[in-house]
Structure 1
Amino acid sequence: MSRVIETWKFRPHPLLANAHMQTVFGLRWPQRAAPYAARVHHVPLEDGDQLALHEDVPFENSENAPSILLLHGLSGGHDSSYMCRLVERLTPRGYRVFRLDMRGCGAGEGIARKPNHCGRSEDVASVLNFIAELHTDSPTTLIAFSMGGTLALNMLAEAGEMRIGNFERALMICPPIDLFSIERHFRSFLGRPYDKFFVKNIWAQVLRRWQAFPETAPKTIPQRPKRLRDIDHLVVAPSGGFASAEEYYAKTQPGPKLEAIRQPVTILFSQDDPVVPFAPLFDFPHSSSVETIVTSHGGHLGFLGQPGLDADIRWIDWRILEWLEHLPLSLEKCKQRVCSR
C-alpha cells in the first residue's frame, strides 16, 4: 500500500471553512494576472489532432532549467487561475513552466477534432516526449489538477518502469480515482450543482467543436443534455471507441491501475472535496511508489488557508513549492532504477 503522509497541515480560512466555499472562492478569489508571455507550441498527435502547449521561461533562462508540466482539470485550460498562479510562482524560482491545453480546451480549440477524456493518457506522454526534444537536459516534473491527474495516473500505470521523456515525479491534486463514484455523486442533492456547472461548460465546448469540424457533428444537433453522464454517453464514449458511458468509466478510471505505478507519485486529497469523492482513494491497492497526502478540509482545488501563515492565503501554492524543493529518497532510488534501463 502507499504511504500516507501527514506533514501537510491545512488550516482553512476562518471565513471559508465550508467545503463549497473553499471550492467556489478557490476558483473566484481575485488575483492580479501577469501579462501573458508564453510561447505556444502545437504538439502533433498520431491521430492527426494537435495540442496547444504554452511555455513560460524562467527569469534566468537556461536550456537545462528544470521543467514543470501543468495539466488542468475538466473545463479548465492554460488560463485557469491555478495554472496562471503557478507560472508566477515558479518562473522567478528558475523553473521552465509548460501549461497544456488538452484537446479542444483553451487555445486547443480548433486544432483537435476529438474531445478530451480520461483515457487520453497517450496525449500526456506525447507532451512529455515533446518537451524532452525541446530541452534535452531538462528534468520534468508533472503537476496535475483534478481530471488532469486522472490522465497522468493512467499514463504512469501504463508506462510501468519505462521513463517517458525526462519525467521524474508527479503531484496529483484532487484527481478522480473512481469515475462511477463521481457519476453517483453528481446524481445527489449536493453533487447536482457541480454537474450542472460542468454540463454548461462542456456542452458549449462540444458545440464549438462541431462548428469548427462539421463533419464530426450529428445530422441533428441535440438539445443540451441535463447531466454530464449524458454527454459522456452521447459524445465522449463514441469518440473514444467505447460502447457506453459505463464502459468508458470502467476502462479509464485509474483506481484499479494504481498498483501498477512504478514511478514516484504524490496524491493530495481533501476529505471534504464536494466534487470528487475522497473515499475511493483508499478503495484500491496502491504501489509503494504512490504517496498520499490527506487534509481534513480544502474543498476541490480550494485550499484557501488562514492569513499570516504563508505569503498569501493560497496554501496549496506554497506547499507545491516546498514539495518541489525536497527530493524524496524514494525518487532518487526510482531515478537510478529507471535510468539504468
Structure 2
Amino acid sequence: MRSLSYWPPLPLHSGVIHTVFTAYVQRWGCLYPWQPQTSHVFHGAEGVPLYGEGYRVSQARGTIIATYGITGDLQNQWYLHTLAHWAIARRFDVVLFDWRAHGRSAELSPVLTSDGLYEGQDLVAIAQQCRELGYTPPYWFVGYSLGGQLALWGAWYAQQQGVTEIGGAAVICPNLDSNRSLAHLGTTFWGRQFERAISRQLQHLARHLHRLHPQMFDLKTIAQIDTIAGFDAALVIDRLGFGSVAEYYAASSPLPLLPQLTIPVWILYAADDPLFDPCLVPELLAIAESNPALTLLMTEQGGHVGFTSDRKCQRLWGDPDYCWGIHRLLDWLAQQPR
C-alpha cells in the first residue's frame, strides 16, 4: 500500500454524504459524454451475446475494457463516461460494454448475472475478440463497485488461462465479500437506506427483463424482491446450481483470489466506504503487504466510488478536474509496460 495525499471538499468528509453525492448529485454535472466510434456484439462465456461500444486512438498504449456496477447501462453511467474521456486523452483505446442482464445485452439474451463467475470469462473473451478487431494490446480490465468485482475475476481467469496479452486489472471500490458487506448494511440506518435503494433498482431491472423475455421471468416472483439477496435468491442461484445465497456469495466473492494473483492488479479503496464491512480494510491491507502483484491505494476518505477532490488537491496533483480516483487509476495504467 502507498499513502497518498487526497482530501475531498469539506462537505464530503463523511463517507455517507460523499456516496450520496456521487450517486445522486454529481452525475448531473458530467461534462464528458461518451461518443463511441463503433458498436460491437461480443460473445462471452458459453456464447452469451454482450453489447459493447469502442473508441480507438492512433498509437494507443493499450486498451481499457470496462463496465459499471450493480445496475445501470452504458447510457447512464457518468463515471464510466468520464473514465473513457480521460483514458482516450491519455491515448488508450476504450471498450465499454453492458454486462450480463444489463442494457442492450439484456435485449440480446435472458442470461442472468453471476457476480463474476461467468463475467470474468466474458472479459477474457472480449479481450480476445478486441485483438481480432484491431484494438491495441495489452488489455486492461477496469471496473468500479460490482464492476470492480467482475474485473478481478477477469484478471483471475486471464491468469488461469495464461492469456499473455491481458495486462491485468484496475478497480475502484470493488465488492470483495458479499456475505459480510450485505450483513453490515443491515446494521446501520444509512446502510439499510442504501440497500433499499439498490433493491428497488434490482426489481426495476427484473421487471425490464420480464418485458424483454416474458417466458423466462415470473412477475409474482419479481414482486417479492425487496433486498439484494432476495434478487439473487429469486432469480439467480437456482440457475447457477447453488443451494443458498450465502453459498453463491462465498463462491463469487473475489477476496480469496487476491493472495493468489500474480497478474498486476491495482485497487483503490476508501476506509470510510459505507457499503462495505469495515473489517475488510485490515484484511485487504495485509493481503496487499504480502502480494507484490497487488498495488493497493487506501484512503481514509472517499466514500463509495467517490474520491471527489477539492481544488487544492487538484492543484497538488495537476489534475484537470475533481475525479481524483480516475486520474490515479490512469496514472498507474500509464506506468505499466506495453
Question: Which TM bucket (shorter chain)?
Answer: 0.7 to 0.9
User: Who is 2:317 aligned against?
Assistant: none
Distance across 1 between alignment mates of 2:164 and 2:72: 25
Q: Distance in 1 between matches of 2:277 and 2:82?
A: 25
Does the 8 Å CA contact 1:174/1:276 hold for their aligned counterparts?
no
1:301: how far off? 0.4
Give the 5 Å matches for 1:104-183. 104-118=101-115, 119-120=117-118, 121-135=120-134, 137-160=136-159, 162-164=161-163, 166-183=165-182
Out of 318, 324, 327, the residue aligned to residue 333 of structure 2 is 324
**1:65 Cα deviation after fit:** 5.0
Against the structure 1 CA distance between its residues 278 and 214, is the aligned structure 2 distance closer, same or farther, given a 3 Å change threshold?
same
Structure 1 residues 35 and 222: CA distance shift in structure 2, 3 A: closer
C-alpha displacement of 1:131: 1.3
Q: What's the CA shift for 1:133?
A: 2.0
What is the SS of the residue equivalent to 1:52? Answer: strand
User: Would you say the 8 A contact 1:71–1:99 is kept in 2?
Assistant: yes
Identify the residue that residue 321 of structure 2 maps to in structure 1.
312
Kindly indicate whether the alpha-carbon contact (under 8 Å) linking 1:113 and 1:213 is maintained by their aligned counterparts in 2.
Answer: yes
Q: Aligned residues: percent identity?
A: 22
Partner-residue secondary structure (3-state), 2:313: coil
Q: How do 1:4-15 and structure 2 match up within 5 A?
A: 4-6=1-3, 8-15=4-11
Q: Any stretches of 5+ residues in structure 1 without a counterpart?
A: 336-341
- The answer for the alignment partner of 2:300 in structure 1 is 296
CA contact (8 A) 1:157 1:257 kept: yes
Q: How many residue pairs get matched?
A: 322
Deviations 1:207-236 (A, max 9, x none): 111221122123844424221111111112
Greater per-residue helix proportion = 2
Q: Which amino acid aligns with 2:321?
A: D
AA of the residue aligned to 2:226: K
Match of 1:90 in 2: 87
RMSD: 2.2
Aligned residue for 1:25? Answer: 21
Q: Is 1:230 the counterpart of 2:222 in the alignment?
A: no
Question: What is the TM-score when the length of structure 1 is the normalising length?
Answer: 0.87
> Are residues 21 and 249 of structure 1, via their aligned partners in 2, closer, same or farther at CA, if it must alter by over 3 Å?
same
> Partners of 1:25 and 1:11 in 2: how far apart?
15
* Residues 127 and 228 of structure 1, relative CA distance in 2, 3 Å threshold: same
Structure 2 residue ranges without an equivalent (≥5): 315-319
Cα distance in structure 2, aligned partners of 1:167 and 1:46: 17
Hey, what's the Cα distance between the residues in 1 that align with 2:327 and 2:154? 27
Aligned to 1:215, what secondary structure does the other structure show? coil
Question: Partners in 1 of 2:5 and 2:302 — Cα distance?
Answer: 11
- Deviations along 1:274-322, one digit per CA (max 9) or x if unpaired, are 1123432543746331121100000000111111432222211222232
Corresponding position of 1:338: none
- 1:47 alignment partner in structure 2: 46
How do 1:268-307 and structure 2 match up within 5 A?
268-283=268-283, 285=287, 287-307=291-311
Which of 318-327 and 269-278 deviates more?
Answer: 318-327
Distance 1:10 1:50, change over 3 A: same
Residues 206 and 55 (structure 1 numbering): CA distance in 2 closer, same or farther, change over 3 Å? same
Report Cα offsets for 1:193-217 as digits up to 9, x if no partner.
1111111111111111122112212
Equivalent residues of 1:10, 1:305 under 8 A apart:
yes
2:41 counterpart SS class: strand
SS, match of residue 193 in structure 2: helix
Question: What is the SS of the residue equivalent to 1:283?
Answer: helix
- The answer for the alignment partner of 1:339 in structure 2 is none
